[in-house]
Amino acid sequence: MSQIKKWVGTCVAALLWAGCGGSPAQPCTTERVDDTVTITCPDGTVSELHDGAKGDPGEKGADGLDGKDGEDGVSCTVEQETDGTRRIRCSDGTSVVVEDGRDGADGRDGHSALVTLKEEPPGANCANGGTAIYAGVDSNDDGVLDETEVTSTQRVCRPDPYALDLAFFGFDDVKAGLRSEVQVNGRLYGTFDPATLVRWKYEVTDVNGMAIVGVRSYYPVPGDSPVHTDWTQFVETDSNGEGWFGPSSGFTVADSGLTEVGGRTLPFSVLTTTAGDQRMTLTLIRVSDGAVLGGATVSYTVAAGAPEISFGGLDALTANTRSLVTVTARVPVDFYPNALLRWRVALVRDGLPVPNQVAYYPLPGEEIAPHMSWTASFQTDSSGIAWFGPANGFTASQAGLDRPAGTTTRFSVAYAPGSYEFQVDLVDLSDMSTVGTAHASFTVP
């Protein structure tokens, strides 16, 4: 209870006492419960006093004075005196020399570590045998590494007595929907039974290892043309992205040509409709047990398919004389299969459009006749533009553009001397959009 509260209670009690006649009597008694004080006097008078409201806090007093700084501590340094002693000197003048402790007693020798080498027979661990290396601790100190003491095992296997080298060529120019010519050179080194039956397996995946289905690899058979787009025999990847070359019974190593000097070059004509990054793995499999004798993987990017247009004869033109030029075009598989297409030609000489330039072409049955005899023709307009083909268009299939080698159209033209720019566009007539284009620069002397 605060001093003020005590003083008030005393004063009230005194007044009550004085009011009772002023003669000494039994004093009143007080009893506090929470913030209420009850005063009971001998005459039976009972009064209650309540605590007043709490006043506002007073102002903060001034900070006390800073205490005195403590005394500085003692600093010590360590000096090397001899190999086994050091002296500690302190700033208070004390100095003490300390010595290294004595060496402890030698511990007991541990168990020896042992290594044992054993011949590893040919089998699951080493196909051609090798050496097994067992290591452990001789816990019973008998100098022998028991089986129960072995803690690790390693094997050094003998290498195969042969090696297969594979090199890939042409995979830097693969286009979706168009047959691309590639080659694989394989050579088998070392000792190998020439009568062993083997077979080629190939697998095509994307960069995430997902199988790519329907990749065709065409290959030549005796009597085939050297032009890869003429080959008709092919293998195709299945739902696992896998395909096999050769008869299921296999062919001998001797027949494969892999052991010959320089090995064997395998030509293929690859057709894939999927663009993007791909991987092809070629593996040589032994037919008897399915063992992999060797293999390699090539990673490549398949470009999105687009029409390919090329020109011939532009480097052998004679001024003002009819000369033979060719335009060869092919489109990817399923390229705008139902679209009606037409050829558009633009010709510029010395920076200006060439109007009224005539180009002759053969009608059916005239293909073998001399080009000088062709009479069917078309010509450029005043802007140097000309259209070729039926006015209502043609499909890629009707024009033979979707054949493996595409189609080649011959023209007979007579150009004046000058420097030319020649552009050919394949146009979709439904919206007049250009779906294929090619450009050539040439000079007529």
Q: Which two tokens stand for residue 341?
A: 């297409």
The predicted structure's pLDDT at residue 24: 53
Whether the predicted pLDDT of 15 surpasses 50: no
Give the CA distances from residue 246 to residues 31, 123, 281, 285, in Å, rounded to whole numbers and listed in that order: 116, 29, 16, 11
Q: Look at phi and psi of residue 21 and say left if phi exceeds 0, alpha if psi is from -120 to 50, else beta.
A: left
Whether the predicted pLDDT of 51 surpasses 80: no
* Stretch 309-333: mean pLDDT: 96
Domain chopping of the chain, boundaries: 3-50, 113-157, 174-303, 308-444
The predicted structure's pLDDT at residue 99: 87
Q: Which of 41-50, 84-93, 174-183, 389-398 has the lowest mean pLDDT?
A: 41-50
Q: Look at phi and psi of residue 246 and say left if phi exceeds 0, alpha if psi is from -120 to 50, else beta.
A: left
Q: Which of 1-15, 239-253, 273-287, 320-334 has the lowest mean pLDDT?
A: 1-15
* Stretch 41-63: mean pLDDT: 78
Most confident of the following: 13-22, 150-159, 348-357: 348-357
119 with 131: CB under 8 angstroms?
yes
The predicted structure's pLDDT at residue 17: 40
Q: Alpha-carbon distance 221 to 216, whole Å?
A: 16
Cβ-count burial 398-416 (b if 16+ within 10 Å, e if not): ebebbebebeebbbbbbbe
Q: Alpha-carbon distance 28 to 139, whole Å?
A: 96
Q: pLDDT band for position 14 (50/70/90)?
A: very low
The predicted structure's pLDDT at residue 279: 97
Q: What percent of the chain has pLDDT over 90?
A: 60
Q: What is the pLDDT of residues 204-215, one digit of tens each?
A: 999 999 999 999
Q: Which of 104-108, 141-145, 165-169, 406-410 has the lowest mean pLDDT?
A: 104-108
Q: pLDDT band for position 10 (50/70/90)?
A: very low
Q: What CATH code would you report for 308-444?
A: 2.60.40.10
DSSP H/E element including 17: helix 3-18
Whether the predicted pLDDT of 370 surpasses 60: yes
Report which of residues 197 and 39 the model is more confident about.
197
The predicted structure's pLDDT at residue 272: 92
Q: What is the pLDDT of residues 284-316, one digit of tens each?
A: 999 999 989 999 999 999 998 889 999 999 999
Matching CATH topology for 174-303 and 308-444?
Answer: yes
- Average pLDDT of the chain, as a whole number: 88
Q: Look at phi and psi of residue 347 and say left if phi exceeds 0, alpha if psi is from -120 to 50, else beta.
A: beta
Q: Which two tokens stand for residue 268?
A: 């293929």
What CATH number matches the domain at 174-303, 2.60.40, 2.40.50, 1.20.120, 1.10.3470?
2.60.40
Report which of residues 340 and 44 the model is more confident about.
340
The predicted structure's pLDDT at residue 162: 77
The predicted structure's pLDDT at residue 22: 46
Q: Is the dihedral of CA 123, 129, 130, 134 positive or negative?
A: positive
**Long-range contacts, stretch 392-398, CB < 8 angstroms, 24+ apart:** 392/340, 392/429, 393/340, 393/341, 393/342, 393/429, 394/340, 394/341, 394/342, 395/337, 395/338, 395/339, 395/340, 395/341, 396/331, 396/335, 396/336, 396/337, 396/339, 396/341, 397/337
Which residues of 20-62 form beta strands (DSSP E)? 29-33, 36-40, 46-50
The predicted structure's pLDDT at residue 25: 57
224 φ, ψ (degrees, to nearest 5):
-75, 155
Rg, Å, the chain Cα set: 52
* Stretch 86-93: mean pLDDT: 88
The predicted structure's pLDDT at residue 109: 82
Residue partners of 94: CB distance under 8 A and separation at least 6:
74
Q: Alpha-carbon distance 286 to 197, whole Å?
A: 6
Q: pLDDT band for position 12 (50/70/90)?
A: very low
Give the CA distances from residue 123 to residues 45, 57, 127, 129, 298, in Å, rounded to whole numbers and listed in that order: 116, 95, 5, 7, 31
Q: What is the pLDDT of residues 232-279, one digit of tens each?
A: 999 999 999 999 998 999 999 999 999 898 899 999 999 998 889 999
Q: What is the pLDDT of residues 264-273, one digit of tens each?
A: 999 999 999 8
Q: What is the pLDDT of residues 17-41, one digit of tens each?
A: 444 444 455 678 888 887 787 888 8
The predicted structure's pLDDT at residue 201: 96
